[in-house]
């Protein structure tokens, strides 16, 4: 659901009150301000929610539109149905690109059969920058697995890997210098194969399970 509303105090409260009255369970919220265009100065609010027992979306949308600060309400399919589970690849540009080759090709094989698996990449340098990015993976919606692709990673990055794993997201690392491979669930030498493994693990149709080979190197 996408809502265009005035950027002022109490808007989220008013929207949440209406949704609670319909027993809708809000699963995700994101917000962005418009800097230009017809909605300049207003906010775009995106919600994903589980409908209540009545699941009367037309009435819910109508009541949200009745809120004075709300200007527009539109319903959309959730991101999970469109983009599906996400493979996150972080590290050096060349290694990230090679992991992405394997992940995208494997995802295409599954998506053409009706699955939804997307691949997100970000090439970064610097221990602190990489550690912050790794920590953020646990907060990304629909992030299902992380691949660390680089030549050397350790220190604060290794600690961030432990936190991501504690959040329930498995981690694959390339065979690299540094302590990160010791903290990952799986270490893979070939970056293309690492991307393939990542997609196979989160696929609902593949038979590969990273937890059955945890701690091994390939």
Contacts of 92 (CB under 8 A, 6+ apart): 123, 125, 149, 150, 151
**Ranges under pLDDT 70 in the chain:** none
Cα–Cα–Cα angle for 195, 196, 199, rounded to 5 degrees: 90
- Predicted pLDDT of residue 205: 82
How many whole angstroms separate alpha carbon 93 and alpha carbon 91?
A: 7
- Predicted pLDDT of residue 128: 95
Contacts of 76 (CB under 8 A, 6+ apart): 1, 2
**Domain 2-76 -> CATH class:** alpha beta
- Predicted pLDDT of residue 39: 85
- Is CATH 3.10.129.10 the classification given to domain 81-212? no
**CATH code 3.40.50.10550 region(s) in the chain:** 81-212
Break the chain down into helix, strand, coil percent, rounded to 5: 40, 25, 35
- Predicted pLDDT of residue 120: 96
Handedness of CA 120, 154, 164, 131 (dihedral sign): negative
The first and second tokens of residue 18, run together, are 């209406």
The first and second tokens of residue 74, run together, are 């539109």
């Amino acid at each position: 659901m996408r809502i265009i509303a005035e950027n002022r105090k109490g808007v989220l409260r008013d929207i949440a009150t209406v949704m609670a009255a319909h027993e809708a369970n809000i699963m995700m919220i994101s917000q962005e301000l418009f800097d230009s265009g017809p909605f300049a100065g207003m906010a775009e609010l995106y919600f994903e929610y589980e409908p209540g027992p009545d699941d009367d979306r037309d009435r819910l949308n109508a009541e949200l539109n009745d809120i004075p600060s709300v200007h527009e309400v539109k319903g959309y399919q959730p991101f999970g149905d469109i983009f599906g589970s996400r493979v996150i690849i972080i590290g050096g540009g060349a290694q990230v690109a090679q992991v992405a080759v394997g992940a995208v090709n494997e995802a295409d094989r599954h998506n053409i059969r009706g699955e939804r698996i997307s691949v997100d990449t970000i090439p970064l340098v610097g221990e602190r920058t990489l550690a912050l990015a790794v920590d953020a993976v646990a907060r990304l919606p629909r992030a299902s697995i992380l691949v660390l692709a680089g030549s050397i990673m350790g220190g604060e990055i290794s600690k961030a890997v432990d936190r991501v794993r504690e959040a329930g997201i498995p981690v694959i690392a390339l065979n690299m210098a540094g302590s990160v491979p010791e903290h990952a669930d799986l270490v893979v030498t070939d970056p293309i194969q690492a991307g393939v493994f990542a997609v196979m693990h989160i696929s609902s149709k593949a038979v590969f399970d990273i937890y059955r080979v945890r701690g091994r190197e390939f």
